[in-house]
Amino acid sequence: MDVYFYTKLVFKDMAVLKISKNISFKEGTHSDTATRRRMKNEPNEDQLKAMKTVAKKVFEPLRENFGEPIRVNSFFRSIALNKAIGGSRTSQHCAGEAIDIDATNGITNKKLFDYIKKNLDFDQLIWEFGTDKNPDWIHVSYKSTKENRNRVLKAVAEGNPVYEVIEGGKEVAEPEVDISKKKSRKGTVTVKTYLNVRKKPTKDAKVVGKLENAKKVKIISEEPGWYQIKSDKQSGWVSADYIKLKSTKPTSDPEL
Ligand SMILES: [Zn+2]
């Protein structure tokens, strides 16, 4: 059987393309998940244009000011990729309008965050989890001067909603629930006896399983008062009152 080798010129060309002075096309479209699943993650013309604007208006001024490399955790995500990693359908990453960044070389994420907040124009700036002193990473989006809301948000691990507005924007709208923190949320069952696992998030729904006290569960989604959980072989809905949430640092996957 013959084996054919192809040289994918198209990808070679992509590799030398640049989004901006300090962001290569490869960095702007990289995703471990996409690589692992062999998913295509390429922006179209409009999305590429949006990425260039974000880079020009936010990333490069920041990079210039601090004079140190800034890690691009996640920039463009195709709808399929965003879905695969549990991001929201309305994520600005899908439009090429948002970037997730991480400071390097002794600069803290807080410093980047404060600089953006004070000096740059942006649509949404999100302090992503971490502590009060430093976020785990920063999400920042840019649309256009006219539409930018200059909205500052903080993602909180145990909050519901996940995002808190920490400074009023010009527009009162639901924040972009960028990344579903829910995906990586974990909890512990805290009951005296056992906790019923139900088929649906209602009190009279069919019981499909039972969980013992101190059992660790993974929270997949939620409804008011209810969590959809997974634990070993069990899955279903449980009352949120009996689940103690664990505040986990969502650093396992920088795309979260
Ligand atoms: Zn983001």
- Give the integer Cα–Cα distance in Å for 169 and 138: 18
Q: Is the pLDDT of residue 154 over 80?
A: yes
Q: What is the pLDDT of residue 4?
A: 45
Domain with CATH 2.30.30.40 in the chain: 185-245
pLDDT for 54: 97
- How far is ligand 1, taken at its centre, from the CA of residue 253, in Å? 12
- pLDDT at 236 (0 to 100): 87
CA of 98 to the centre of ligand 1 (A): 6
Ion ligand 1: residue ranges with CB closer than 5 A = 100, 139, 178
pLDDT band at 13 (very low <50, low <70, confident <90, very high): low
Which residues neighbour 190 within 8 Å (Cβ) at sequence distance 6 or greater? 213, 214, 242, 243, 244
Q: What is the pLDDT of residues 209-232, one digit of tens each?
A: 999 999 988 887 777 777 888 888
Indicate the CATH number of 185-245 among 3.30.365.10, 3.40.462.10, 1.10.10.10, 2.30.30.40.
2.30.30.40
Tokens of 34: 């996409």
- Percentage of the chain with pLDDT > 70? 80
Looking at residue 53, its pLDDT comes to 97
List every span in the chain annotated with CATH 3.30.1380.10.
Answer: 3-167
3-167 under CATH 3.30.1380.10, yes or no: yes
Span 18-33, pLDDT tens digits: 999 999 999 999 998 8
Kindly give the distance from the C-alpha atom of residue 190 to the centroid of ligand 1, in angstroms, as a whole number.
Answer: 33
In what helix (H) or strand (E) does residue 16 lie, and over which residues does it extend? helix 9-16
CA geometry: angle 143, 26, 153, nearest 5 deg: 35
| Res. 174: pLDDT tops 50 | no
- 229-248 mean pLDDT: 82
